[in-house]
Amino acid sequence: MRNIGIDDTIVAISTPVGEGGIGIVRLSGPDALVIAGKVFRPKGPVGPAQFPTYTTHYGHICDNDEVIDEVILTVMRAPKSYTKEDVVEINCHGGLVALKKVLALLLQEGACMAEPGEFTKRAFLNGRIDLAQAEAVLDVIKAKTDASLRVAVNQLEGRLSSEVAGLWDRLISLQGHIEASVDFPEDDCEILVTAEIEIKLKEITGEIDRLLSTAEDGIILRDGLLAVICGKPNVGKSSIMNRLLRQDRSIVTDLPGTTRDVIEEYLNVDGLPLRIADTAGLAEARDLIEEEGIRRSHIYTRRADLVLLVLDGSADITPEDESIMGLVKKRPSLIVINKRDLPKKLKIEKINQIIGKNGSLCEVSAQTGEGIEGLRRAIREKVWSGEVVSSDNIMVDNIRHQNCLKIARDRLISAVSSIKGGVSPELIAADIKSGLDSLGEIIGRKVTDEVLDNIFSNFCIGK
């Protein structure tokens, strides 16, 4: 990412490019109104530079005398805009050619092409949102379920930021007391260091632990889990996936080996975003294509957060089944016994002998749909261990935030140990300063350019 010039006016297409009803080209910066005025021909007597804030205007985008598109132009003046700069949004027709020609005109008139996430980065740098809120913008865009959306909106509204900022302020106060004990030892500040500060550090550490206790569930809600459907050929893996998705996503035939590659889709299981993968049947390959599909199946099975091992309930366990169960028995797994609509021949006792307690059993019929809702519940209970997870509470849903909180907690624990060990106040203050820096990284009070570039490079251009 290039360095952002404070005097640059940036521009980008802010909607997916393609055929659609509307496409938006967005400008932000000190010259946004002037640049827009060079290409916008309004119906009225005045141009964008004279338009009041929060107003929309009908007109045309023109290249000299050539009309490029009929548009609606919106003006949002600083500081009450997304970036706290002057912002112009041009609502064009959504065709690829029109959008690109409007973008090219604005670049020609002096705007700079925005980098990925640069509008949101400016919102952060200009103080409209903090860094955790900026990251939540992308989470809102990428949310896969209502629950993950609620978590992201909570972050965007600043609920986690407020908690972290409160901890940061309390640590700043404690650090001031410690530094005072170093600078003014005659004022008996040493007593405060060894008594009250130890108690307060433990309180703050406890609150960090409380936030960290939400991280596993929060990250699952944000990123989802990889659930892999595996088993030998022709046991109904693709049919089960189609039943779970409630659509015909995987090809189903009576021929073994129909699925040659891994097929992925997102599935909403009671608010849990599940990236579900249907894999090729694990068996001896008959050709190079099937061999590659089986190789990928093994890779996905090893990476899976949850394995759905499908067995044929109308047949006894085969050596192939036993081999696959051996592969997954150390992984979190659900044993899905398919074909419950047929006479049952499979022996549950033999499954328990091979899998042990790590796998749970669920019987379904992909043919009739019996047991599919039970399978959904079993997946949810396997992930949440039967608990009810509320996405309305403050949750840590970001691995970066989780790592920063862990570092802060460890430094504060070290500071408490130093107090108990009679270590000098300077060393205690150093531990607290390190904890402060880690908390500051979450909300952007202390953050490197490298971290910023890494965060905003994940955004699309135009956001």
The CA-based angle 429-445-215, given to 5 degrees, is 90
Beta-strand relationship, 263-269 and 272-278: antiparallel
- Quick one: 121 and 203 in the same domain? no
Question: Which residue in this structure is represented by tokens 């403050």?
Answer: 394
- The pLDDT score that the predictor gives to residue 401 is 96
| 154 and 55 within one domain | no
Domain count, the chain: 3
If asked whether residues 83 and 196 sit together in one domain, one would say no
Question: Does 155 fall in a domain?
Answer: yes
Residues 115 and 19 in one domain: yes
- Reported for 240-249, long-range contacts at CB under 8 A and 24+ positions apart, including other chains, are 240/308, 240/310, 240/336, 240/338, 240/364, 240/366, 240/372, 240/375, 241/265, 241/276, 241/278, 242/366, 243/364, 243/366, 243/369, 243/372, 244/276, 244/372, 244/375, 244/376, 245/276, 249/278
pLDDT per position as a tens digit, 319-351? 888 877 877 777 788 888 999 999 988 888 778
- Pick the last residue of a domain from 335, 363, 384: 384
Task: Based on the fold, state whether residues 161 and 309 are members of the same structural domain.
Answer: no
Residue 453 domain-assigned? no
Per-residue pLDDT at 454 exceeds 70: yes
Which range is least confidently modeled, 141-155, 223-237, 255-269, 302-316?
Answer: 255-269
- Asked if the bond preceding 79 is cis, omega within 30° of 0, the reply is yes
What percent of the chain lies above the pLDDT cut of 90? 41
3 within some domain? no
Q: Is residue 257 part of a domain?
A: yes
pLDDT one-digit tens code per residue, 142-197: 888 888 888 899 999 999 999 999 999 999 988 877 776 665 555 555 545 577 88
Residue-range definition of the domain harbouring residue 197: 135-214+396-444
Say how far apart CA 170 and CA 107 lie, in whole Å.
47
Verify that 207 and 255 share a domain, yes or no.
Answer: no
User: CATH number, domain at 208?
Assistant: 1.20.120.430
Q: Would you say residue 88 lies in a domain? A: yes
Question: What CATH code is carried by the domain that includes residue 113?
Answer: 3.30.1360.120
Residues 117 and 139 in one domain: no
pLDDT tens by residue, 94-142: 888 999 999 999 999 999 999 999 999 999 999 999 999 999 999 998 8
pLDDT at position 41: 95
Average pLDDT of 15-44? 91
452 falls within a domain:
no
Residue 102 lies in a domain: yes
pLDDT at position 254 over 50: no
